[in-house]
Amino acid sequence: MHRPLDHASRVIAENRRRYELLVEMVQHYADQDDVERVLRAATVAANYAWLGPVGLLSDLRLERLVVNAVRGAGRVTVDGGRRAGRVLHVLTEGYATGGHTRQVWRWIHRDERVSDVVLTNQAGQVPARLAEAVLASGGQVHDLLSAGGTLLERARLLREHMDRVDVVVLTVHAYDAVALAAVNLPGVRPPVIYANHADLTYWLGVAAGDLLCDWRDAARTLDVGQRAVPTERVGVLPLPIDEMSAAADDTVRRELKIPADAVVAVTVAEDWKVAASWGRGMHHVLDRVLQRSPQLFVVLVGVTSNADWARLGKRYPGRVLPIGRVPDPAPYLALADVYLESYPTRAGTTPLEAAMVGLPTVALADVPEDKPAHIFQTGSPGLAGNPAATTVEQFAAAVRRLVLDPDLRRREGAEARAAVLAVHDGPGWRARLEALYEQVRALPAIDVDDLGDSPTDVGYAAVLLSAVAPAAGSRDPRDRTGPIGDLFDRRMQADLHAALARDLGASFQVRVAAGWHAHERWTGRLLELSSRHPRLSVSLPFLPDDGVHGERTEATLLALLASIGLGPEDCGDVSVDDDRPPARGPELLGEPPFTDEALDWLEELLRSPFWSAPTGADRGRGVVDARTPVTASA
C-alpha cells in the first residue's frame, strides 16, 4: 500500500501556491494583451507543474488563457477530408536515446505517407535516426528554434507547416505552449492527434489535440477523470516496436564478469522507476529473487548505483550490476535469459523490446486496481495477456521457474514475442494506425470552451510525489524557466520575483556596497528610486574612517540628495548602518554592483504590478491547503 511521504501535504500545497502565482502571471499578461508573454509564462507554469506535483494533471484555466490570447474572436475548424498523403509530426525536442523520440521515428517508418517533422525547441543536435526516417519518407525536418524568433512567431510558423498536411501528430513536452497556440490560431486546419506519452503526469495540451492518443487502455481513467478529456476524444494506438533479434555476444558478459553458466536477468529503467516510491523498491524485491535463485545475475541498465544497490550487492557479491545509462540497451537484452519489469513503476517501451528478442518477461503488480497508484503498474497491450505476480513471493517463484527451466524460457519468450509482434508491429499495428487517422478525421475541432474544469486530486498527487519528486521541499519556480531560455526577460524575472516576495513583508531591502560615495550618479539614481517607491528600503554603510557620529557620511549623503532635488524628508526609506540591518521582509541578496543594469533591474522589479495581489473572484481557486491530510492509498 502507498504510504504518503510525511512532507507530502506541505510540499504539494507549496507547489500549488507557487503554481498559482505563475498562472496569475499568465492572466495578467492576457489582460494586457501581451500574447508573447502569455505563451512564455504558460510554458514556465506547465514545466513547473510537470516536474513537481500540484494536484492537477491538466489545467483548463491555463489552457483557456493561452487559447483565448491567440484565437481572439476567431474560430477554428477542421478539414478532415485532406488526402494528399502527408503527415506532420511535431516534437518539442528530440533525443538520440529518448523513448518518445524512438516512437516517432518508428511511427514514420511504418506509415506509408510522407512525414515531416517540426521541432519547436530543439536545443541540441537533431537525432540522426529521426532525420533519417523523415528523409526516407520523402519529408523534411524543420527546427523552429534555430530559425530564431519569439514563441508566438514559432506558433505561427508551426501553423503554416500544419496547413500543408493531412494530419498532425503532437508528441510534445508537457510544457509546449507553442503547439497549443498553433493548433488554436483561427482558421481551417487539419485534424490533430495528441500523443499521450507522459500519461502519468501533468501536461499542457488537452485543447491541443482533437484526439488524445494513449499507448495503453489504462490511461483513459486519468484522461477522463483528471484531465477532463471527453471520452469520445480518446483513442489507443499501441507503441510501435521494431522487430529485433538478440545476437549473442560474449563481450558484455566478460566485461561484467558473469560466469558462462549463470542465468542473466535484465531490467532497463530510469532510477525513479525502481526507487522505493511507496515503501518498497526494486532492490527489496530482488533480495528475495536472488535468495531463491542462486545462479541468477541481475543487470540493471539505466539504473545508477547507490547505497541501496551497494547493500544488495554486498549480500550477493557480483550478482547485482547497476550499470547506469547506455546509448543502446540491445547488447544487454542479447545477454539476457529473462527480462524483469521495473518495480514499483513499470516501463512502457523496454519490456516490449525485450519480448521482441524472445525474452520471457516477469512483472510484479501489487497495487489493487481501485487505488490511484495502480496506473503505475499497468502494462502495454501486447503483454496484457501475461499476468503479473501480485506478491513478492509469487514474483520470486515465477523467476525461479524460468531460471531452472531453459525450455520454459524459450517457450514463454516465443509466446511473448508473437503477442507483441501481433499488436505493436506489422499489419495489426498499421490497421490500428489507419483506424486512428479515421477516428480523428471524423471529429470537430477541439474547443477549450466546451471542456469542463480540471479537478484537483491530492491523493494522486501524493503518489506522484513519492514516485517522481520525493525531495522534502518545493522547488523555486525560477529554477523551472529553462525551456524559454533568454525569453525569460527582465520584465518576467521582475514580475516573478515580486510575486514570490510580496507576502514576505512591506519593504524590499537593498544593502549598498562600500564605496557608494565614489559613484555619485549611481547612488543618486538609487536614492531617486527610493523617493518614488515606498516599498524600497535602502541601507548605506558609513564612510571609512568617519567619526563616531558619522558627520562625513551625513554630509556626503545630504549633498547627494540635494544634487537630485531631495532632502531627508522626501527621500524615502534610507538609513545608514554599520552592517546589513535585520531583514524586515524580502531583500536583495548580496550588494548590487554599481552598474546601470543593476538599477534597471531594480527599477523593473519595483514597477511590477505583482507586488499587489489581484482581487478577482477566481484568485487561488482550487489551491491545496497544507492542512488537508493526504490519506494513505495505493
Q: Please, what is the Cα angle at 26 between 20 and 31, to 5 degrees?
A: 125
Number of domains comprising the chain: 4
In a domain, 285, yes or no: yes
270 and 416 belong to one structural domain: yes
Which ranges of the chain have pLDDT less than 70?
1-3, 245-248, 613-634
578 and 510 belong to one structural domain: yes
Alpha-carbon distance 471 to 11, whole Å? 9
Alpha-carbon distance 204 to 22, whole Å? 14
88 and 233 belong to one structural domain: yes
In a domain, 132, yes or no: yes
263 and 409 belong to one structural domain: yes
DSSP characters for 540-586? EEPPTT--TT-HHHHHHHHHHHHHTT--TTTS-EEEEESSPPPPSS-
12 and 136 belong to one structural domain: no
In a domain, 498, yes or no: no
In a domain, 461, yes or no: yes
444 and 413 belong to one structural domain: no
Residues whose CB is less than 8 angstroms from the CB of residue 420 and which lie 6 or more positions away in sequence, other chains included:
241, 352, 355, 356, 382, 383
Residue 90 sits in a domain of what CATH number?
3.40.50.2000
522 and 562 belong to one structural domain: yes
Looking at residue 246, its pLDDT comes to: 63
286 and 413 belong to one structural domain: yes
DSSP code for 389: B
444 and 457 belong to one structural domain: no
C-alpha cell at 271: 532510477
180 and 34 belong to one structural domain: no
- Residue 604 lies in domain: 503-611
271 and 402 belong to one structural domain: yes
Whether the CB-CB separation of 244 and 417 falls below 8 Å is answered with no
In a domain, 205, yes or no: yes
In a domain, 479, yes or no: no
33 and 155 belong to one structural domain: no
In a domain, 480, yes or no: no
Helices (H) and strands (E) in the chain, counts: 22, 17
Residues shown for the chain:
634
Looking at residue 470, its pLDDT comes to: 74
Alpha-carbon distance 459 to 372, whole Å? 8
CA dist list (Å): 148 to 143, 144, 173, 428, 492: 9, 7, 19, 41, 20
In a domain, 221, yes or no: yes
Query: Cell numbers 524600497 correspond to what residue?
Result: 536
